[in-house]
Structures are given as structure tokens and as C-alpha cells.
Amino acid sequence: MIWMMTATASRDAQDFFQLDRGAAFNLPLENELFSDQLDAQGRSLGYLGLGFTGLINNGAANPNWQNWLDKTNQGPNPNDILGGAVGAITVNMTGGTAFGTANNQEKGYQFGVNVSTTTGTFTVESKLINFSDPFQLYHSSPGAELGIFMGTGSQSDYIKLVINQQGIAMQAEVNDVPGNPISRSIAIAERPSSLVLMFEVNPSNGQVLAKYQLDNKPIQILGTLLAQGVLLNAIQQNNLPVGIGIIGTSNNPATEVQGTWDYFRVLGNAPSIIYRINAGDVQITATDEGPDWAANATAGAFTGTGFTVNSGNISTHNIAGRDASVPAYVPQSIFAKERWDPPAAPEMQWSFDVSPGNYEVRLYMGNGCSCTSAVGQRVFDIKIEGQLVENDLDLVTAFGHQVGGMKSYQVNVADQSLDILFEHVVEIP
């Protein structure tokens, strides 16, 4: 495969995810590292279709991400093997390192994920294999290490979890200042042939728990660090993607150390899903382990299992665009038809039978009609449990015309009904 892209130095100086087309991934994410991945528009996803959308940035004034790739046939190890039928990447890490102010890490493939305090605890997991191979860790320079990192996308702020010839280590770096490592030794007789590395992250307080598994032995807890500075901001704010990827170094300019990564998974502790409604259309079978998307294909007042809606007409628009806010498990067919509220009273209200408590409401919406394709032609308000959550919402401004998107809200219900009200401002909601 020939990869062609014009790299702009000034852009690479600020852009830590050079190939993400402006969108990070939503949870859950499971990447088996096959090189045939496509985005929603059918384009190759990330570098060589592997799902990696950038390389950890070295902060230079005029960097070029293409300089951090494998230099083919220049050794000393064999060339890298990226993806293919095996579903893994084998990367020969050079002597460059992100440690401290060195910031000359190469081949630090990464991708961005959207998380925040509303995500709840999430986990990052990756598996390394083939430690017995001749170019791998235990046959390399004494200072070599391989592993994963979670950071802002730069080589200045991150937390790494690595294996070296002595054992396992976790270390944070804030603004190029390394913190004290947490480490545990591995006896030579216990050296693994494979290793699973895990972060368990609590966005509410920034706590990062490191765990690992040697071969098929029980999972071990290494220790806990607190994310700080810009990394903490990225973990807690949905508008700042968190960079996750591979890290490693031979720590020797004359040698390389080979690592093989088998997969990456970033999973949230997803709450149980009570309702899924395909507003204005037929039932859709779920593509995950959640409930199916219940039918709501009748205009006017409608009563379903556990929910009601008091009004609404139905039209077909077959929206093909998909905003990055929409999780991968959501079928595009939910945007095929829309339920809209006529001008006459009452305002359209949905009511769901629930117990008192806290809930997350996700609304999947898109402007499909050419009659309201310009900004300002269709504007409405949304209230949930009597509280205004969207004032003058314009879907064309939010997502673009003929693009489906998602809006998410945290709500508290004090009674037995969760109520969602759509109110006219300009045209129809």
C-alpha cells in the first residue's frame, strides 16, 4: 500500500492527531489492529487503515509526522509489519524517547478518544505478544522498554505503563517533568511470552489505576497515580481528546527493540439501557448487547411499551451523514425518518416510565429537509424534566445539513416519569 498525504509543518505543530479528520473516537472502542478499517464515509481509517490517527507529537516548532515513521531498510532490525491478516503490529522502536525533555520518540502511534466526567470509569487495555522472538525485549539493550500510554497527544504530558527487562513500571510526566515511577520486578524465570496492560481511569478525580497480566496468570494491580494538568483536563472535558497509543524505546541510538501489539480496547462501564426508540420508524435490531430500537411508526399520539408521545408527524429523509458524536453501535437507519411536531398545540412531549434517580438521555437528531438546510431556518428548544437543556438549538449549526448527530444530557427524576418536551422557536422541532 502507498500512503500519500501532504504534511504541513505548522499544522503538525498543533495537531496531535494528524489523520483524524477532526474527530476522536467515542466509547466503546475495540481495535484488533487489522489494516482494513474504514470510517463512516468508507475511507481508510487512520494510518494504513489501522485506526491510529496520529503519532505522539514531539512539540518541535516545525515537525512533520512522516519523519517519525519507520525508515525502511535502514535497520538495524527488520522493517516494521503494520496490520495485515494477523491483526497485530510489529514495530521496531528506536533509541528515541518521550522521557523528560528528550521528546524524540518515534513510531508512537496513537488515536484520540472522547471521555469526560459524564463517561464514568473507563478502561484502556492492550496486549503485547511474542516476547520470545529474537529482536524482542529480552534480547535487546538493557534500558529497553515497551508498552502503552495515555496522554494529551504530545510527548510532554502522559502516563505510561511499560515492561522492561527488570519488570513492570508506571510513570507520569507533566510538562516534560517525570514523576516518581511505580514499579514491580519480574524474576527471569517468570518472564512472560505475552502481557496485557490496563489503565482503569476515574475521570471525576483523575485517578489512574494500573494493572497487568502475565500470560494467563491472575491480573495484578501495580498502583495508582493521579492525572494532573492538561492530561486531567482532557480526561474530564469531552472537547479535549485523550491520546492512547504505543510507546517504547531501546534507549540506545545504535539498537532497536521490537514490540508486537495485538489489540487496543477502550471501554466504559456503560450504564444499563432502559429505552431505545426509533422515532418515526419501525423497530431496528440492536447491533450490540443492548435492547432493540423500538418502533414508533405511527403519527399522532402513540403509546409504546413504557413510553408515550402526544403528537408528531413522520417524514422520510434518509440522512447519510454521521457526526462523530454518534457512537459506533448506533445504526445509521435511525436517521432515515424523523418525527416532527406540527405548529398546532400541544408541543410534542415524550414521557417514559422510570423510577426516581439519575439518568442519561441521548437524543439522536438531524436536519434532513432541504426546506430548512440553511442556518437559522429551523430552531427549537428542549426541556427535560422541566429544565431547559437546549435553547435555540439549530441542528444545521450543530452538525450540518443531512448529518445525524447526538446530544447527551444528565438528568435527575424525582417522580415516576421522565419527560422530554420539544418547543417551537422557528419552523418545527
Q: What would the DSSP string read from start to end of 94-144? A: -S---STT-------EEEEE---TTT-SEEEEEEEE-TTSTTBGGGS-TT-
Task: Band the pLDDT of 12: cuts 50, 70, 90.
Answer: low
pLDDT for residue 6 is more than 80: no
User: Which of 37-51, 278-292, 334-348 is predicted most confidently?
Assistant: 334-348
pLDDT at 22 over 70: no
List pLDDT tens digits, range 300-350. Answer: 999 999 999 999 999 999 999 998 778 777 899 999 999 999 999 999 999
User: What is the pTM (predicted TM-score) of this model?
Assistant: 0.63
- Residue 340 in contact with residue 356, Cβ under 8 Å? no
Calculate the dihedral angle through the C-alpha atoms of 293, 297, 302, 308, rounding to the nearest 10 degrees.
20
- pLDDT tens, position by position, 210-260: 999 999 887 888 988 999 999 999 999 888 899 999 999 999 999 999 999
Residue bearing the bigger pLDDT, 247 or 13 = 247
Can you list the domains of the chain with their CATH numbers? 9-268 (2.60.120.200), 277-426 (2.60.120)
pLDDT value, residue 150: 98
- State what percent of residues in the chain have pLDDT above 70: 94
Query: Residue 218 contacts by C-beta under 8 Å, 6 or more apart in sequence?
Result: none
- Residue 14, pLDDT > 70, answer no
In the predicted structure, residue 354 carries a pLDDT above the cut 50:
yes
pLDDT classification of 366: cutoffs 50, 70, 90: very high
pLDDT tens track for 329-341: 789 999 999 999 9
